Amino acid sequence: RKEVEQDPGPFNVPEGATVAFNCTYSNSASQSFFWYRQDCRKEPKLLMSVYSSGNEDGRFTAQLNRASQYISLLIRDSKLSDSATYLCVVNIEAQKLVFGQGTRLTINP
């Protein structure tokens, strides 16, 4: 089983729609969780951290379910500029961050 698993997609949704994707992780001792965004093979950039109580940043909401070992990302009122690959990232141990394969999202006009 992979340490971090994501549905690679692609997800194709119309502009303005709400879209959500999940990510599962295998190590129950994982401490920290993040969502990164990667555009067109450019460098990944931190989108948001994921906190135990769930957190929101504008149109983006991240949640953590420790019991089921998954995190989720919800994007509301999607924009064309949200088209990207979203990477689920888990801090497995010390400083080792493990990246999921990524979920490709395309927002259509």
Contact set with other proteins (CB under 8 A): 6, 32, 34, 41-46, 49, 87, 89, 91, 94-102
Q: For the CB of residue 14, give the shortest distance to other proteins in the complex, in Å.
A: 25
Q: Which one, 68 or 95, has the nearer CB to other proteins?
A: 95
Q: For the CB of residue 99, give the shortest distance to other proteins in the complex, in Å.
A: 4
Spatial distance between the Cα atoms of 27 and 30, rounded to a whole number of angstroms = 6
3-state secondary structure at position 39: coil
Read off the amino acid at residue 66.
R
Q: For the CB of residue 5, give the shortest distance to other proteins in the complex, in Å.
A: 10
Q: How many CA atoms lie within 13 A of 88 on its CB side?
A: 30
Q: For the CB of residue 81, give the shortest distance to other proteins in the complex, in Å.
A: 19
Radius of gyration from C-alpha coordinates of the chain: 13
Q: Which one, 45 or 59, has the nearer CB to other proteins?
A: 45
Spatial distance between the Cα atoms of 64 and 71, rounded to a whole number of angstroms = 4
Read off the amino acid at residue 82.
D
Q: Which one, 94 or 109, has the nearer CB to other proteins?
A: 94
Q: Which one, 30 or 63, has the nearer CB to other proteins?
A: 30
3-state secondary structure at position 81: helix
